[in-house]
């Protein structure tokens, strides 16, 4: 029999991660993500896991990566200012191919800003670390989805040996809704690839046919190295341009070549739509109400809701633009994903924008008004 709980978003994302096998959490308190650390400090000991509060965000992600290297599924959580401090270790996770789940409960910025709802870290999730880095970012729009995407995020991190980010905001993080917990028997959990060759033949960064290297745990017969600089398949530091090029391209292609495994997008009433609202997370909840209101007025409008925002579903949006000639992008920022929509439609459709950075959710009536203005 299915089990239901009335949960906060921050609690749901934590329980989802635990269901997916996370047994280590390191973090530092920061509103509006603090409840995740509090909840994990209570729940992890119940499943023989480990919680540790670090001295700051720099130490938090460092400890998270260290535990992952030791063979444990790991998670950390923070908000905007903490994500800024995660930047260097995020790059370490990507180039060292260290799987982990990172939750960013977004708040208004820049600087200390405010703890009010925001979607201002969308570009930070893609470009928050230096270099040509490719990662995966998922955006829930409900407490149930926070739970489900935590499971998916952990699986993707292990599958690709890469960091996976969940981008919530204050509203979703603090919202309480009914959540259906998944039975352990129905969870198809993913484990990181393990070496299939004898220890003397193992190369710690030699990719398999999917571009992902096997990952040996520290302390056994396999000699393993984790590097943060440019390296060859054997884990040796290199200054070779050919090695640089091959490594950076592989880190990108191992993800981009498998979109079916991570890409997710919801379409609502698009079958006859003349205009589509593009919205995600909290904003998409208001957008769905707007679609109902507009349809009652005879306006043929639908909703495109990306659940995976990075890598951006460019091909899917491009194909939609062949039959939908106008997109209204609605975000709680000054226009971050709208740039990606414009690039994806490539002139095949008009793109309009509605943004707000006042620290409040955008109501359906405001979206409807903007919709009528741009039609």
d(CA 55, CA 99): 22
Question: What pLDDT, on the 0 to 100 scale, is given for residue 167?
Answer: 98
Q: Cα(31)–Cα(293) distance, rounded to whole angstroms?
A: 34
CA within 13 Å, CB half, 356? 16
Per-residue pLDDT at 185 exceeds 90: no
Q: How confident is the model at residue 184 (pLDDT cuts 50, 70, 90)?
A: confident
Q: How confident is the model at residue 1 (pLDDT cuts 50, 70, 90)?
A: low
Q: What is the mean pLDDT of the chain?
A: 96
In the DSSP assignment, the letter for residue 362 is P
Asked if pLDDT for residue 250 goes beyond 80, the answer is yes
78 pLDDT above the threshold of 90:
yes
Residue in 369, 22, 321 with CA at minimum distance from that of residue 166: 22
- Please check whether residue 29 is in contact with residue 3, taking contact to mean a CB–CB distance below 8 angstroms: no
Can you tell me the distance from the alpha carbon of 175 to that of 120, in angstroms, rounded to the nearest whole number?
Answer: 19
pTM of the prediction? Answer: 0.97
- pLDDT confidence bin for 219, thresholds 50/70/90: confident
Q: Which domains does the chain have, with CATH numbers?
A: 3-185 (3.40.50.970), 265-374 (3.40.50.920)
Is residue 224 pLDDT above 90, yes or no?
no
- For the chain, how far is it from start to end, CA to CA, in angstroms? 48
Q: Tell me the β-bridge partners of 117.
A: none
Task: Give pLDDT tens digits for 51-61.
Answer: 999 999 999 99
Q: Is residue 2 predicted with pLDDT exceeding 80?
A: no
SS3 237: strand
Phi, psi of 99 (to 5 degrees): -70, 140
pLDDT digits (tens, 9 = 90+) for 256-315: 999 999 999 999 999 999 999 999 999 999 999 999 999 999 999 999 999 999 999 999
pLDDT of residue 191: 95
Instruction: Give the mean pLDDT of 242-256.
Output: 97
């Amino acid at each position: 029999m299915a089990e239901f709980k009335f949960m906060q978003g921050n609690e749901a994302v934590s329980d989802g991660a635990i269901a997916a096998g996370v047994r280590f959490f390191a973090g530092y308190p920061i509103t509006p993500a603090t409840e995740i650390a509090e909840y994990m400090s209570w729940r992890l000991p119940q499943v023989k896991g480990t919680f540790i509060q670090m001295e700051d965000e720099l130490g938090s992600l460092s400890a998270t990566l260290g535990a992952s290297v030791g063979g444990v599924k790991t998670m950390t959580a923070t908000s905007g200012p903490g994500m800024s401090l995660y930047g260097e270790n995020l790059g370490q996770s990507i180039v060292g191919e260290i799987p982990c789940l990172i939750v960013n409960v977004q708040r208004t910025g820049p600087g200390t800003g405010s703890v009010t709802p925001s979607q201002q870290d969308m570009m930070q999730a893609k470009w928050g670390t230096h270099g040509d880095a490719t990662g995966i970012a998922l955006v829930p729009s409900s407490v149930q989805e926070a739970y489900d995407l935590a499971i998916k995020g952990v699986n993707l991190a292990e599958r690709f040996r890469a960091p996976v980010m969940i981008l919530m905001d204050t509203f979703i993080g603090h919202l309480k809704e009914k959540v259906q917990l998944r039975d352990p028997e129905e969870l198809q959990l993913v484990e990181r690839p393990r070496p299939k060759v004898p220890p003397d033949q193992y190369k710690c960064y030699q990719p398999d046919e999917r571009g992902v290297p096997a990952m040996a745990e520290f302390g056994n017969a396999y000699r393993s190295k984790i590097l943060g600089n440019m390296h060859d398949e054997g884990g040796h530091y290199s200054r070779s341009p050919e090695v640089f090029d091959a490594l950076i391209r592989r880190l990108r292609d191992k993800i981009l070549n498998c979109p079916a495994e991570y890409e997710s997008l919801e379409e609502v009433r698009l079958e006859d739509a003349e205009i589509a609202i593009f919205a995600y997370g909290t904003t998409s909840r208001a957008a769905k109400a707007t679609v109902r209101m507009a349809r009652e007025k005879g306006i043929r409008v639908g909703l495109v809701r990306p659940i995976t925002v990075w890598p951006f579903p460019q091909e899917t949006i491009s194909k939609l633009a062949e039959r939908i000639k106008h997109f209204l992008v609605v975000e709680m920022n000054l226009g971050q994903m709208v740039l990606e929509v414009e690039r994806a439609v490539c002139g095949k459709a008009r793109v309009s924008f509605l943004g707000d950075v006042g620290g409040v959710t955008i109501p359906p009536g405001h979206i409807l008004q903007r919709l009528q203005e741009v039609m």
